[in-house]
Amino acid sequence: MTGYSAPLKDLEFLFGKFGLGSSLQSLPPFSEVGSDYLSPIFEEAGKFAGEVLAPINHSGDQQGSTIENGVVRTPEGWKEAYDTFVEGGWCGLPFDEDIGGMALPWTVATAVGEMWHASNMSWGLWPLLTQGAIEAVHAHGSDDLKRLFLPKLVSGEWTGTMNLTEPQAGSDLALLKTKAVRDGEKYRIHGQKIFITYGEQDLSENICHLVLARLPDAPPGSRGISLFLVPKRIVDQDGNIGEHNDLRCVSIEHKMGIHGSPTCVMAYGDNDGAIGYLIGEEHKGLACMFTMMNNARLTVGLQGLAIAERAYQQARAYARDRIQGIAPGADGKGPIVRHPDVRRMLLTMRSTIEAMRALILDTMVALDTSKHHEDEAARTYAHRRVDLLTPVIKGWLTDQAVNVTSIGVQIHGGMGFIEETGAAQHFRDARILPIYEGTNGIQAADLVGRKILRDDGAAVWEYLDELNSLINGLNAISDPDIAEIRKHLAISIDTLESAIDWLLSEGKQDDAAAQAASTPLLTLFGITAGGAMMARMAKCAYETLKNGDPGIDQAFMQQKVITARFFAENILSTAPGLLPSICDGHNTVMRLADEDL
Amino acid sequence: MTGYSAPLKDLEFLFGKFGLGSSLQSLPPFSEVGSDYLSPIFEEAGKFAGEVLAPINHSGDQQGSTIENGVVRTPEGWKEAYDTFVEGGWCGLPFDEDIGGMALPWTVATAVGEMWHASNMSWGLWPLLTQGAIEAVHAHGSDDLKRLFLPKLVSGEWTGTMNLTEPQAGSDLALLKTKAVRDGEKYRIHGQKIFITYGEQDLSENICHLVLARLPDAPPGSRGISLFLVPKRIVDQDGNIGEHNDLRCVSIEHKMGIHGSPTCVMAYGDNDGAIGYLIGEEHKGLACMFTMMNNARLTVGLQGLAIAERAYQQARAYARDRIQGIAPGADGKGPIVRHPDVRRMLLTMRSTIEAMRALILDTMVALDTSKHHEDEAARTYAHRRVDLLTPVIKGWLTDQAVNVTSIGVQIHGGMGFIEETGAAQHFRDARILPIYEGTNGIQAADLVGRKILRDDGAAVWEYLDELNSLINGLNAISDPDIAEIRKHLAISIDTLESAIDWLLSEGKQDDAAAQAASTPLLTLFGITAGGAMMARMAKCAYETLKNGDPGIDQAFMQQKVITARFFAENILSTAPGLLPSICDGHNTVMRLADEDL
């Protein structure tokens, strides 16, 4: 089993030379957040991830969480890691100081979050959901709810969950049946929820369940759903924990991966009804839940990056170690890392990961900008960008996670299929990512419908204008690597523009065609967005080398240019091949009868 | 859990109208093998697969094979299914009558084999390996070996295994260390082998291990390897089973998938040495093993088709059943099969499967032709075709199996990640396919090196000529569906020609570049070959409809045209996007230092 090292050099580059740090510092609350401030945080987080979380990742997979008489036990080491994490205050990184947070940018929380998910994705799900719960309560909760619950959630002493799904209501939340009945200022909740991550555990003394339910007088469909905070144990007005609420974990799922994370079936209100507190307004719970979900979608994209990075580190170590065959030009047997086909696999993993990381961190800078920029127009612009890219980040990064972890298995050959090696776990774990927090089909529908068609392409053209400016910037550079990168990026942008043109004309007239095109369009968008980030990084690395600044890691900068060119020639170059499936793929999609499919 | 239905209608089409049957009938030994003869065989096999093998697939995965004190136990139902299979004589389907076989074409054995692997891939591995052992012994064994072992192997009463891998020798067999020492007419074998599928089991009374080992005076490397038949129990000259040979199963692997199939670590010669019998000549074992391996590679490609078909049947059933959301143009909630994005996923699965099936069966006709055609030139031509397409079938079909089973999981949403549903098993099982019997990287190297560069493109240009004739045939048809299919196929063929041109010029001069290009080239080849089969089927279906033959299933024929057009516009259309990675991808592959990767 290979350990885990946090990608500190990449973060140094991205927050340093590449400029994410200075963008953050231009936002008033973060003027102090320079490299000197961040480096120790990244190092400390990397240490915790590598030394505490990574060593229990494989054992956690093998042991899994278990349930006995309603008591859920997490794997060995889970609770100790939890305690250390809470002690370190990591949970509150991006939250306001008045609720006990560190008030750091989301960009920084994301960089650090990659380390939790890479070292132990199953474990990392509890802070992921807890942070989502904090955001929803913070944005929509009453003062009383905030006072009683936020500090404990922000410290991580209590955890949060997200209760949406019911057996008959998955992607279609309008079908949910869980009932809420008014009881004075409180509500009583009755119903069953499934797929509740960390719905029960032995880590924290309390769990704050955020539950979607329907009031008796609610309008039908998704406009009749309300959001409630339903604590595992009742909290009195002084914040003391009292009796158990009327809710329980019925069972946990036997899953393909993320075995360490208990996925619970939760029963609410077996007796008098579970006590719940309204978040936001009655019947407007879905909007509140989306506050939580948008954050969670970005973080699931982050998990995709993280698990891919972990798989890469493991595959690279194996490829350097495994002696097999004679590489072209070699004298004798050598490690498989010298074989061109293995190098192609490793570079596919690595360059995809670099694109993913840059894309999500750049988007998180936009998120921070949308919250903290002095200028309202700049905030709005950044907000549109985050909205546009959220489904791309969730969808493309998680699809790539499955692909990259699959390559990781492949590099190991037969050993990759043996569970002891650990490569298989990453592949199994990664497979949940295109599914939860809105399947990637839902992401594609969101991209096409809400994010492109709804504003008639305003946000996407704005984005494409920026990409075209990037092309202009690359034109000015005379270098064979940059020229190749520029060429493939320009083709890819043209392709995406054609796809958007089609969507805004033909797709707009034909709902089924637009939906049929949605997934390949999301893929094309992801490749192009990732390729643009690679080009921006290559440009920065090239210029840094050119400037010859002292103290620069020249080899690192050269590698950035090389991996960007690899990405351009091997991955970005596949973009034009996606256009027919977008513009013409729908021709046949609806032609077979349901029963003939 | 969805059951399994054999694809009888597709087989009827392929062996009937499409012409595989008449091609087989033109071969002297198979003149009687018409539809009337084959249909009952397919039906009977489908019944066995659906009623006996499919019901124990999921339970077999959950139970797994186990080992205790060296005794391996297969899952419940495995032995009963084995007995029934042996009784039915299924194992001997493609073998000569003089050794107890049915002397049917390999094409038919392949069509039937799909059913074993689709219904229960883990179970189906024992006949797969046994058939390979039969071929090797039949082609290279002494008369005595043939007399003593073949009838029992052909009947299936004894099973065969393939012992290649050692801990230090995987893809690179030259590194193997297992020793063989002459002992009169026999040999004594000492060494450890890993990844031995069905190396020990509780199904048959004897197991014939085909073992690669090295004699003391063997030249180093892969030219010093000999092949031995090492029976689990010694067989006397009258064929009676006697004492246990000096070999044992040390342990079985804990794998990501194919849990029902025991993957054994085998120890040979703990005491006096395991008694082995030479197959073929000393030091020429690798060539003999390749007889077995080429067959096995095609059959692993077949497993890819099979598991994809199973995943499709399950996903389709779920999509028809699961009510969620309102599809475009619908009045209210309906099954998800009506959603365009879900249909796109289902059609991707289905059309890929149709391409896979047609491609492998068409290639098996070439295999039968290479063995039985009256004309030597025709035999040689067909042999070249099989050689050329073997790595494509192994590589592309198994890559697609991972992709298709992954889509199968995705269609199930959250339920796909839950093991009880069964979709996850197909995905886990499928992941071994790109690895075993030569990783897909090895297949790509074989395609580029042995199959294209070695004969300077003779076989591949021959093949491309045929594809261009197909384009000419399609030109004659004036129909919008066929026109779209033709268009994308023509582009794809052009792209493949450009790739081959590059390989035979630049790639020939630069070994590393050729190897770096090998995997995307294999993918391009697979897509084009699959697309050509889809086009041939569409042409046949179109002409059948046009001819208006009475008794034709019109809806079925229309579906063939539609799925072929779907494939053309959604999958074949991605072919041009692969060219840069072939011709330019190598530019960066060798540029990073090993330690910087």
Predicted confidence band of residue B241 (pLDDT cuts 50, 70, 90): very high
> Which of A59, A494, A591 is the best substitution to test chain B (most B C-beta atoms within 10 A)?
A591
Residue with the larger pLDDT of the pair B150 and A594: B150
Q: What is the mean pLDDT of residues A147-158?
A: 98
Does the pLDDT value for residue A483 go beyond 90?
A: yes
Q: What is the mean pLDDT of residues A403-431?
A: 98
Distances (CA, A) of B229 to A429, B157, B269, B399: 41, 16, 14, 32
Q: What is the mean pLDDT of residues B557-580?
A: 98
The verdict on a CB contact (< 8 Å) between A578 and B574 is: yes
Strand partners, B192: B267
Angstrom distance (rounded) from CA B72 to CA B493: 50
DSSP string covering B250-280, please?
EEE--BSS-TTS-EEEEEE-SSS-EEEEEES
Q: How far is A159 from chain B (nearest CA, A)?
A: 23
Q: Is the domain covering A8-153 a CATH 1.10.540.10 domain?
A: yes
Q: Which residues of A touch B516 (CB under 8 A)?
A: 340-341, 343-344
Select from B409, B563, B589 the Cβ nearest to the Cβ of A347. Answer: B589
Predicted confidence band of residue B1 (pLDDT cuts 50, 70, 90): low
* CB neighbours of residue A547 within 10 Å: 10
> Which of A402, A404, A417 is the best substitution to test chain B (most B C-beta atoms within 10 A)?
A417
Q: What is the pLDDT of residue A1?
A: 64
Q: Which residue of A has its CA nearest to B563?
A: A588
Q: What is the pLDDT of residue A550?
A: 84
Q: Quick one: which of B500, B501, B493, B491 has its CA closest to B468?
A: B493
Does the pLDDT value for residue B291 go beyond 80?
A: no
Q: What is the pLDDT of residue A293?
A: 85
Q: What is the mean pLDDT of residues A282-291?
A: 91
Query: If DSSP states are collapsed to H, E and C, what string results for B169-234?
Result: ECCCHHHCCCEEEEECCEEEEEEEEEEEECCCCCCCCEEEEEEEEECCCCCCHHHHEEEEEEECEE
Rg (CA), chain B: 24
Q: What is the pLDDT of residue B525?
A: 98
Q: What are the structure tokens assigned to B263, written together?
A: 């993957």
Angstrom distance (rounded) from CA B457 to CA B379: 19
DSSP structural state of residue B453: I
Predicted confidence band of residue B2 (pLDDT cuts 50, 70, 90): confident
Does the pLDDT value for residue B376 go beyond 70?
A: yes
Are B277 and B186 in contact by the 8 Å Cβ rule? The answer is yes
Predicted confidence band of residue B35 (pLDDT cuts 50, 70, 90): confident
DSSP string covering A470-525, please?
HHHHHHT---HHHHHHHHHHHHHHHHHHHHHHHIIIIIHH-HHHHHHHHHHHHHHH
Q: Quick one: which of A523, A528, A512, A371 has its CA closest to A447?
A: A523
Dihedral angle, C-alpha A215, A219, A220, A223, nearest 10 °: -90
The mean-pLDDT minimum among A353-357, B453-457, B467-471, B546-550 falls in: B546-550
The verdict on a CB contact (< 8 Å) between B171 and A428 is: no
Distances (CA, A) of A287 to A136, A149, A257: 10, 20, 30
Angstrom distance (rounded) from CA B384 to CA B370: 9
The verdict on a CB contact (< 8 Å) between A441 and B410 is: yes
Q: Which residue of A has its CA nearest to B342?
A: A441
Angstrom distance (rounded) from CA B147 to CA B138: 10
**Pairing status of strand A226-231 against strand B226-231:** unpaired
Query: If DSSP states are collapsed to H, E and C, what string results for A524-553?
Result: HHHHHHHHHHHHHHHHHHHHHHHHCCCCCC
Predicted confidence band of residue A526 (pLDDT cuts 50, 70, 90): very high
Dihedral angle, C-alpha B323, B327, B333, B335, nearest 10 °: -20
The single residue listed with the structure tokens 């959301």 is: B325
Mean pLDDT of chain B: 97
- Amino acid letter for position A344: R
Mean pLDDT of chain A: 97
Does the pLDDT value for residue A294 go beyond 90?
A: no
Q: What are the structure tokens assigned to B339, written together?
A: 């959603």
Query: What pLDDT digit, counting tens, does each position of B477-500 carry?
Result: 999 999 999 999 999 999 999 999
Q: How far is B362 from chain A (nearest CA, A)?
A: 24
The verdict on a CB contact (< 8 Å) between B439 and A410 is: yes
User: What are the φ and ψ backbone dihedral angles of A191, each rounded to 5 degrees?
Assistant: 160, 175
Q: What is the pLDDT of residue A549?
A: 82
Select from A165, A344, A511 the Cβ nearest to the Cβ of B585. Answer: A344
- ipTM higher than threshold 0.95: yes
Does the pLDDT value for residue B529 go beyond 90?
A: yes
Helices (H) and strands (E) in chain B, counts: 20, 12
Q: Which residue of A has its CA nearest to B169?
A: A324
Q: What is the pLDDT of residue B317?
A: 97
Q: What is the mean pLDDT of residues A33-53?
A: 96
The mean-pLDDT minimum among A350-354, A506-510, A550-554, B175-179 falls in: A550-554
Are A303 and A117 in contact by the 8 Å Cβ rule? The answer is yes
From chain A residues 405-444, the ones with a CB under 8 A of any chain B CB are: 406, 409-410, 413-414, 416-420, 424, 427-428, 431-432, 434-436, 439-441, 444
Q: Quick one: which of B563, B562, B544 has its CA closest to B554?
A: B544
Q: What are the structure tokens assigned to A535, written together?
A: 């080009």
Residue with the larger pLDDT of the pair B290 and B472: B472
pTM for this prediction:
0.98
Percent of chain B predicted with pLDDT > 70: 100
Task: Tell me the torsion sign for CA atoms B372, B375, B380, B383.
Answer: negative
Predicted confidence band of residue A325 (pLDDT cuts 50, 70, 90): very high
Angstrom distance (rounded) from CA A484 to CA A490: 10
Max Cα-Cα span within chain B: 82
Angstrom distance (rounded) from CA B451 to CA A12: 47
Q: What is the pLDDT of residue A123?
A: 98
Query: What pLDDT digit, counting tens, does each position of A159-182 carry?
Result: 999 999 999 999 999 999 999 999
The CATH fold assigned to A159-284 is Butyryl-CoA Dehydrogenase, subunit A; domain 2 (2.40.110)
Max Cα-Cα span within chain A: 82
DSSP structural state of residue A195: E
DSSP string covering B80-137, please?
HHHHHHHHTTGGGTTS-GGGT-----HHHHHHHHHHHHHH-HHHHHHHHHHHHHHHHH
Assess B342–A contact: CB distance below 8 Å, yes or no: yes
Predicted confidence band of residue A76 (pLDDT cuts 50, 70, 90): very high
Query: What pLDDT digit, counting tens, does each position of A384-400 carry?
Result: 999 999 999 999 999 99
Are B129 and B272 in contact by the 8 Å Cβ rule? The answer is no
Coarse DSSP helix, strand, coil percentages of chain B, rounded to the nearest 5 percent? 65, 15, 25
Q: What is the mean pLDDT of residues B564-587?
A: 98
Are A139 and A291 in contact by the 8 Å Cβ rule? The answer is yes
- B462 has catalytic annotation: no
DSSP structural state of residue A219: P
Q: Quick one: which of B475, B450, B449, B585 has its CA closest to B535?
A: B475
Assess B575–A contact: CB distance below 8 Å, yes or no: yes
Q: What is the mean pLDDT of residues A135-145?
A: 96
Does the pLDDT value for residue A551 go beyond 90?
A: no
Rg (CA), chain A: 24
* CB neighbours of residue B22 within 10 Å: 14
Residues B332, A505, B570, CA angle at the centre, nearest 5°? 75
